Amino acid sequence: MRSPLLIDTHCHLADRAFAGRLPAVIRAGRMAGVMKFIVPAIEPEEWQRLQVLHKSHSEIFPAYGLHPMHARLFSRNILEELESCARSAIAIGEIGLDYTLAVSRKYRCTLSANNSGLLESWTCRSCSTAAMPFRT
């Protein structure tokens, strides 16, 4: 019987923690049967690293997004950059709420938009107080 093709659908191989040892990490994955890696990138700096990885590793498939913990970086320029990156993406990811973050667990927060359509604040649904400003 043939072994199934395994795909890791969420591994942060563009994280700086893997710099310099990515070939060994991919090799270890392949030895375990993982032949494809869907790699989310959670903020603009990581998008750039993932684009380079995608071009140099045929087994890496990008999924770009702006994680809520980086939402303060959001702007029209960032949105345009994300749209550009997304042209080579297999998915859009890391855009929902991360309930593993202490602030998310505590406040059960949701993102809200102001009149301009840009995200301005992270508002707690329970208490209606701003939990984190997006712009500093």
Residue 40 C-beta: closest distance to Zn ion, Å: 5
State which residue, 39 or 109, has the beta carbon closest to Zn ion.
Answer: 39
Report CA 129 to chain centroid distance, whole Å: 26
Nearest distance in Å: CB 114, Zn ion: 27
Instruction: Determine the Cα–Cα distance for residues 30 and 37; give it in Å rounded to an integer.
Output: 10
Q: Cβ 67 to Zn ion, closest distance in Å?
A: 7
Name which of 51 and 93 has its Cβ closer to Zn ion. Answer: 93
Residue 114's SS3 state is coil
- Do 92 and 85 form a contact (C-beta atoms < 8 A)? no
Nearest distance, CB of residue 136 and Zn ion, angstroms: 24
Residue nearest to Zn ion (CB): 40
> By the criterion CB under 5 A, which residues form the site for Zn ion?
40
Amino acid identity for residue 119 in this structure = L
Identity of the residue, 40 or 68, whose beta carbon is nearer to Zn ion in the bound complex:
40
Q: DSSP characters for 35-94?
A: EEEEEEE-SHHHHHHHHHHHHH-TTEEEEE---GGGGGG--HHHHHHHHHHHTT-SEE-S
Q: Which is nearer to Zn ion, 100 or 128 (CB)?
A: 100
